[in-house]
Structure 1
């Protein structure tokens, strides 16, 4: 898949969609009908119902809902002269993929930025190629002196270091330049950008952030966490028309990867305004679930929770988001043990840092509980996991409310924490592609051997009976669901090293994590995630059956068609 994910945008074929105004909250039985508008047959139809693979010969659909699954002959009893018969010709049809954590609005915005990712999703594998990419972008976009140049995705697990202001000044001293690290938690600025951001020798580190400095105390251009946020929030904003077009392109890329339900997590007021505008204009053709930032609610804005958990033109609020720490790739995740090799300016006891005190975390989690809002907590390091588990435990011991809190990333979850997750019915959601993209860096530099062996403990989570899910975390990663499956099953790094053989999951478990279990995380298991009578007709058609190929070939499977509410929204273009 690799670079084709990034390349898919305007050139992709959008065939149309179908909006639903509210969630079919309970539809366990097929409606009493005698005809179908579409019948699928002639391939492997994998229902994802149950804990072992199950197949049916045919599926009949009417008005975006599944009305029959079973034998081919019985399915044909629903056929009329106007029924569309879809012969799969040996391909595989299964439930549409559900991406349980990402930022689709910001992913759309990122499509208008310079792509400074490393291979396989870009070409910035060294400083020379990174600088060339930026110079080409300035020329192609005709960016005038004084106007901002924004790039996204630079990767310090491939580059020799962060691109300092001196390196970026070699691109331009007339354009302010800011690059966003692949983790999304660190930025690199040139001298002009530092000047406009008013970051200088006397600027103090903000709470929860760091301004890195050289030996003379001058900012070196690298800023972390809360030091980066004001810079990004004050960047010039493109027109709504442009942002809506970028959001259209983002949806097409998601659909090209088989995704029928996406998330917008850590939703900002501007993001929610954009998504709401797209919904009002019927421009959302996949379902989007938003999770506004919990610590901003009641301060700068108040999202409308009146339609909580109900779609309005393919958009709904699913809960709230809380970011407890940073990233392992940026070495800002909050650990209980020191980093194997500390980052620039830190001593050998450096363990990262929390974004909140334990007391603050408990207060914020209690706020979500009191409002009956599902909470997603970003916890990369095990110390951040401890904070969240303690906060949930403090309010869960006296009630059995079906709350389904989610621990996002959960990369360094310990065995004792897995047991606590199960006891508290907390869902871990893993970003498995980290193993491939960052695994060598984690092993050699950030974490060392012991911690990387237990990285992303998905198998342990499944063995404990948890409904663990997998996500892509775009725009940090591409919304490449098949690469997610490949990484979880193979656990291989870029260099081919195997990390945590004992945590390999089966292909079927990986598929559950992005279909049936993902629907459960979103409180949508009654109408999504499996192919059953009464559920919505959200499907993906693959050129091969993931259960019938070699595990190392999983990332070479192609999406042929993506179907939302019974309507194709993306089809692979004939070559």
Structure 2
């Protein structure tokens, strides 16, 4: 469990780092009063993330939740008299991490589900273990007959069985409970017979547009697997069932994010009921971190007509930034949409299997026109290059129809952009579209991508180096619950691009540690139109800090994932700190 924060400002620790000539002056009263007591952070590697190349500064001063000084230590001591000194003791201070894309609500909901993840996240390596875990969960939680049971995180590619479970196996384990288990990708799942019956899926049910219902051999009878749009009824019902526990897990989920150094989190696709819940928590003063949500595209038209829904503006630490569209599926689940086919067998497809677009081109065009007309920022999920082609086309169609420049400062974000082509990256730059990458895939499914897509496509997944050369302000995310919330692991995966088997997936795209840090600090702020208030250590910005026990820029690349978050500070106030023997360093 995450430790509760003690209110005292504690002493922290440093490694030797880069020299710096970065300094921000401050235009406030030169001597702070007792009421306006300031905190001076010094004696550590303070990395402002405000320069194109790595640099450090000697001191940062926080006052009333804002950064009021960045620069020389002696000048800071001279300028402020009523000040509390915080000795970093050699540790590293960075801007608080900004989560470019995860699913805060779903992370919270997993706390009421069975963990079916394979190692190293979980312990499930076979269907037999999965079924045993589901049965044990029912017994341990005294779940009555007839109540829904949910699991999350299974990954058939990591099971010894090398296949999805089916409804018959789930029926045998839990015959009297409706069961739905979510794939780790979040783009498919498996239901047992009772769950299929309750969601009215039968042999007579046709595949929905953009989705697929798995069938038993030589039969139209569902086998339990539902992919993409076919899973929507199951996920929607799951959220209704679990919504009653949202308040119970809300604080715990915030603590979970804060423990990873995150001061701004994202809920990557939020329905209106969840938006109302998040805002109610914010209005009650329950937010420790900032929370940004993306409204679902199915409600786009009604959302834009609702005067009570204000996009892009924080209210008590919560805001709805824009709209999330799902354009295709997952590459490891073989539902991402490509211009070239998968190299391995795709369930439910016989020939020329290229995955599934979730929407038609016409529908995507209409959504873009609707959003762009209202200046509503779009965040579009797209993994395969064919779906990215569709997005570029929709962008062009909407811009032309509305007589808007194609490079208008909309900051449309293509979430994942995993298998974007080099020519598409150039178009992103030309059209002011930004990618949010997902380098964790190199570790979790890099070997699978090589098998399914071939080395050339796999090696160019989430190409941070190429994006950086073009001057794109890319980000890099966890997509939790697809992979764990852990920004430092995300940095590690971007720098090393190492697979589970120890192979490097695309050495040419191995990012520098600084590039990887930009993707969760300064660039992440930019994509959310918050570059004036967050993402770097500069005067006037929020005093959102993370303190690490080691410097990601100076440790060996393979050691980055072992770095610990010592303390997380939001608006000048500690919201997490590691259980440490450090003592108060106030002078």
Please give the TM-score of this superposition, normalised by the length of structure 2. 0.91
Which secondary structure does the structure 2 equivalent of 1:42 belong to?
A: strand
Correspondence for 2:470: 464
Residues 181/241 of structure 1: CA separation in 2 closer, same or farther (3 Å cut): closer
Correspondence for 1:404: 411
Looking at structure 2, the residues matched to 422 and 228 of structure 1 have their Cα atoms a distance apart, in angstroms, of 34
What displacement does 1:157 show?
2.1
Check conservation: 2:109, 2:242, Cα contact below 8 A: no
Check conservation: 1:69, 1:533, Cα contact below 8 A: yes
Correspondence for 2:331: 328
Looking at structure 2, the residues matched to 303 and 280 of structure 1 have their Cα atoms a distance apart, in angstroms, of 19
What displacement does 1:410 show?
0.5
Mean Cα displacement is larger for which, 188-197 or 563-572? 188-197
Which secondary structure does the structure 1 equivalent of 2:238 belong to?
A: coil
Residues 240/348 of structure 1: CA separation in 2 closer, same or farther (3 Å cut): closer
Question: Residues 249-287 of structure 1: CA distance to partner in whole angstroms, max 9, x if unpaired?
Answer: 111111111111111122112221221121121111111
Check conservation: 1:305, 1:317, Cα contact below 8 A: no
Correspondence for 1:134: 134
Correspondence for 1:288: 291
Correspondence for 1:392: 395
* Gaps in structure 1 of 5+ consecutive residues: 1-7, 18-27
Correspondence for 2:366: 363
Residues 238/295 of structure 1: CA separation in 2 closer, same or farther (3 Å cut): closer
Check conservation: 1:366, 1:395, Cα contact below 8 A: yes
What displacement does 1:136 show?
2.1
Mean Cα displacement is larger for which, 124-133 or 544-553? 124-133
- Counting only pairs closer than 5 Å after superposition, residues 235-274 of structure 1 correspond to structure 2 as 235=238, 237=240, 242-274=245-277
What displacement does 1:328 show?
0.6
Residues 16/492 of structure 1: CA separation in 2 closer, same or farther (3 Å cut): same
Looking at structure 2, the residues matched to 201 and 486 of structure 1 have their Cα atoms a distance apart, in angstroms, of 46
Mean Cα displacement is larger for which, 244-253 or 531-540? 244-253
What displacement does 1:85 show?
1.9
Looking at structure 1, the residues matched to 354 and 67 of structure 2 have their Cα atoms a distance apart, in angstroms, of 51
Check conservation: 2:546, 2:567, Cα contact below 8 A: yes
What displacement does 1:239 show?
7.6
Which secondary structure does the structure 1 equivalent of 2:547 belong to?
A: strand
- Counting only pairs closer than 5 Å after superposition, residues 162-173 of structure 1 correspond to structure 2 as 162-173=164-175
Mean Cα displacement is larger for which, 293-302 or 160-169? 293-302
Question: Residues 48-81 of structure 1: CA distance to partner in whole angstroms, max 9, x if unpaired?
Answer: 1111111111111100000111122222235445
Looking at structure 2, the residues matched to 134 and 360 of structure 1 have their Cα atoms a distance apart, in angstroms, of 39
Residues 314/341 of structure 1: CA separation in 2 closer, same or farther (3 Å cut): same
Question: Residues 318-342 of structure 1: CA distance to partner in whole angstroms, max 9, x if unpaired?
Answer: 1111110111111111110001113
Mean Cα displacement is larger for which, 145-154 or 128-137? 128-137
Which secondary structure does the structure 1 equivalent of 2:157 belong to?
A: coil
- Counting only pairs closer than 5 Å after superposition, residues 94-105 of structure 1 correspond to structure 2 as 94-105=94-105
Looking at structure 2, the residues matched to 300 and 348 of structure 1 have their Cα atoms a distance apart, in angstroms, of 40
Correspondence for 2:124: 124
Correspondence for 1:22: none
Correspondence for 1:77: 78
Residues 72/549 of structure 1: CA separation in 2 closer, same or farther (3 Å cut): same
* Gaps in structure 2 of 5+ consecutive residues: 9-23, 582-587
Question: Residues 315-365 of structure 1: CA distance to partner in whole angstroms, max 9, x if unpaired?
Answer: 011111111011111111111000111322212311011111212211111
Which secondary structure does the structure 1 equivalent of 2:68 belong to?
A: strand
Looking at structure 2, the residues matched to 342 and 422 of structure 1 have their Cα atoms a distance apart, in angstroms, of 35
Correspondence for 2:114: 114
Looking at structure 2, the residues matched to 195 and 183 of structure 1 have their Cα atoms a distance apart, in angstroms, of 24
Residues 338/555 of structure 1: CA separation in 2 closer, same or farther (3 Å cut): same
Mean Cα displacement is larger for which, 519-528 or 471-480? 471-480
Check conservation: 2:112, 2:242, Cα contact below 8 A: no
Correspondence for 1:4: none
- Counting only pairs closer than 5 Å after superposition, residues 47-66 of structure 1 correspond to structure 2 as 47-66=48-67
Correspondence for 1:32: 28
Q: Provide the alpha-carbon RMSD of the alignment.
A: 2.0
The count of aligned residue pairs is 554
Question: Residues 212-244 of structure 1: CA distance to partner in whole angstroms, max 9, x if unpaired?
Answer: 001222211101111111122223745867312
Check conservation: 1:29, 1:534, Cα contact below 8 A: no
